[in-house]
Amino acid sequence: MQRAKLITPKIIKALRGSKWSFVVLFLAAASPAFAQDNSPYSRYGIGDLVPATNIINRSMGGVTAGYFDQLAINFNNPASYSAFQAIREKKSKKLSSGRAILDVGLNFENRTLREPNNANKFTASNALFSYVQVGVPLKQNWGLSFGIRPVSRISYKILANEKLVDPISGLPIEDAATLYTGNGGSYLISAGSGFSLFRKEKYGQMGGLSVGFNGGYLFGEKDYSSRRVLINDTVTYYKANYETRTNFGSLYYNLGLQYKLPLSKTMQLTLGAYGNSSLKLNGKQDRIRETYVFNDNTGNVRLDSVSDTRNVKGTIDLPSSLTVGFMLQKFAVQNKEGGFMLGMDFATQQWSDYRFYGQADSLRNKWELRTGVQINPVPRRNYFSNIAYRFGLFFGPEYVKVGQKLPQVGASFGLGLPMAISRQAPNQATFINLAFEYVKRGNNDNRLKENLFRFSLGFSLSDIWFIKRKYE
């Protein structure tokens, strides 16, 4: 077997090699210690990008550019915050009440990695926090939202056995076992506002332009290590550790637009766009090179520090992004006719501009085409007629570059389930949103294929957050 060439920062060869086999990749797959998320693709860039949409949009293939909702938060396009429900007094036109929204999401994933010939595979399951978002109307057609969500995730543990060869004679001299691990990820704390401009009524609907802005702080950690032990029946070698740990963070922003165009009394077209320019993250890095032994009581114990460099400052350059799309919506009419939403997005990110402490990575520019639909039956007094049914598709190349293109294709299905309204709280409107996704990454041209089943659970809770009291 060839010498392993992956996951160490300097000798990584992008999961490629003429004779490299992933047989060594998941040698410990049966061990309970590996019952976690484990994707070698998360080694690249800032990690494996997590879904950046709420559960509703996720079940519609990720369509977000033209989506807005009075009872949910589209935090991708801040222009949608202008749709938060605010109620004005009929005579004075002053704000009398508003509907606050709490949106929470969770992910449950099952990931399977396998070689193209299906000879070896590894399966992992996990549960992950997705987002927490709050939205409130400030005035009519002016809303505010804030929250926190993960942006990327780094998680892999790979054991490789290799035969070391004398460079002169070409004869085998030692066996070596190397454990490559990576941990970390990134998070975004943000707040934003959206409001309407140039509003105009047509067909009894209000159209016009909405603009929005999100600002916040993007932060995270990358921790890569490779631990090697030489195996010899007569000579004892110390174990070696090569570790690079980086903490980073910086201010973040994105801008959004939506233009609503009424087409009839029950039909509306919304055009949308959002994006951000390139971003430079400030980093501090620790570089550790050491020998160690393992102790059953204390774990790994350092014997000798070959090199220990702390707080090395540098930058991480993240790319610009742009998403454009539309949403065609037909409004349902009580006891008369159903409604629907049909949308499409095109998204792009320039990952070839990514730099980590001045070094490029095995990345390529990413694009994705998304399409989705929501179907609403004729609303009646029975429960099932008030359920929203959602479907979606998406495809495009992954941003990881591993020799051949790494295609990604996925399909989604979801439900919007209304909760019973309490008589003690008649103004509450609560929905449980479910999303089921299947994602396929790679094909037989790639060294490793990945199949992902994701179940997402979201809660959209809303209530009147203030009422202007009247006194006679």
Answer yes or no: is 308 within a domain.
no
Is 90 exceeded by the pLDDT of residue 194? yes
Q: What is the mean pLDDT of the chain?
A: 81
Answer yes or no: is 438 within a domain.
yes
Tokens encoding 6: 């992956």
Dihedrals phi, psi of 49, to nearest 5 degrees: -70, 125
Write down the pLDDT at residue 1.
Answer: 30
Q: What is the number of structural domains in the chain?
A: 1
Write down the pLDDT at residue 376.
Answer: 93
Q: Which amino acid is at 144?
A: L
Among 130-139, 212-221, 415-424, the range with the most confident prediction by mean pLDDT is 212-221
Q: Which domain holds residue 42?
A: 33-153+192-217+258-281+319-467
Is 90 exceeded by the pLDDT of residue 309? no
Q: How confident is the model at residue 377 (pLDDT cuts 50, 70, 90)?
A: very high
Residue 42 DSSP code: G
Compute the distance between CA of residue 140 and CA of residue 210 in angstroms, rounded to an integer.
12
Tokens encoding 284: 């501090």
Instruction: Find the mean pLDDT for residues 366-380.
Output: 94
As a whole number of Å, the end-to-end CA separation of the chain is 88
Answer yes or no: is 421 within a domain.
yes
pLDDT in tens, 122-168: 788 888 889 999 999 988 889 999 999 999 999 888 777 777 666 67
| C-alpha dist (Å) from residue 321 to 25, 76, 139, 461, 462 | 33, 12, 30, 30, 31
Write down the pLDDT at residue 453.
Answer: 94
Compute the distance between CA of residue 45 and CA of residue 246 in angstroms, rounded to an integer.
13
Write down the pLDDT at residue 118.
Answer: 63
Is 70 exceeded by the pLDDT of residue 9? no
Cβ-based neighbours of 218, under 8 Å, separated by 6 or more: 151, 186, 187, 188, 249, 250, 251, 252, 279, 281
Write down the pLDDT at residue 34.
Answer: 33
Tokens encoding 313: 């400052």
Compute the distance between CA of residue 270 and CA of residue 323 in angstroms, rounded to an integer.
14
Q: How confident is the model at residue 323 (pLDDT cuts 50, 70, 90)?
A: very high
Answer yes or no: is 287 within a domain.
no
Tokens encoding 166: 């004398």
Q: Is pTM beyond 0.85 here?
A: no
pLDDT in tens, 387-411: 999 999 999 998 888 767 788 999 9
Answer yes or no: is 26 within a domain.
no
Q: How confident is the model at residue 78 (pLDDT cuts 50, 70, 90)?
A: very high
Q: How confident is the model at residue 209 (pLDDT cuts 50, 70, 90)?
A: very high
Q: How confident is the model at residue 14 (pLDDT cuts 50, 70, 90)?
A: very low
Write down the pLDDT at residue 294.
Answer: 62
Is 80 exceeded by the pLDDT of residue 170? no
CA 263 to chain centre: 34
Answer yes or no: is 383 within a domain.
yes
Is 60 exceeded by the pLDDT of residue 317? yes
Answer yes or no: is 207 within a domain.
yes
Q: Which amino acid is at 45?
A: G
Residue 116 DSSP code: T
Write down the pLDDT at residue 232.
Answer: 60
Compute the distance between CA of residue 212 and CA of residue 138 in angstroms, rounded to an integer.
14
**What DSSP string runs through 57-95?**
HHHTTT--TT---SSS---SSGGGGGGS-EEE-TTT--E
Using CA of residue 420, residue 424, residue 428, residue 434, what is the dihedral sign? negative
Percent over 90 (pLDDT), the chain: 46
Is 70 exceeded by the pLDDT of residue 422? no
Cβ-based neighbours of 408, under 8 Å, separated by 6 or more: 368, 395, 396, 397, 398, 439, 440, 441
**What DSSP string runs through 272-338?**
EEEEE--EEEEEEEEEEEEEEEEETTTEEEEEEEEEEEEEEEEEEEEPPEEEEEEEEEE--BTTTB-
3-state secondary structure of 351: helix
Backbone region of residue 47 per phi and psi (left: phi > 0; alpha: psi in -120 to 50; beta: other values): left
Residue whose pair of structure tokens reads 């490793």 in the numeric block: 448
Tally of CA atoms within 13 A in the half-sphere of 115 that contains its CB: 12
Cβ-based neighbours of 199, under 8 Å, separated by 6 or more: 141, 206, 207, 208
Cβ-based neighbours of 440, under 8 Å, separated by 6 or more: 408, 409, 410, 449, 450, 451, 452
Write down the pLDDT at residue 292.
Answer: 67
Task: Say what the alpha-carbon torsion angle 394, 396, 400, 406 is, to the nearest 10 degrees.
Answer: 110
Strand ranges inside 166-278, DSSP E: 172-202, 205-231, 239-262, 267-276
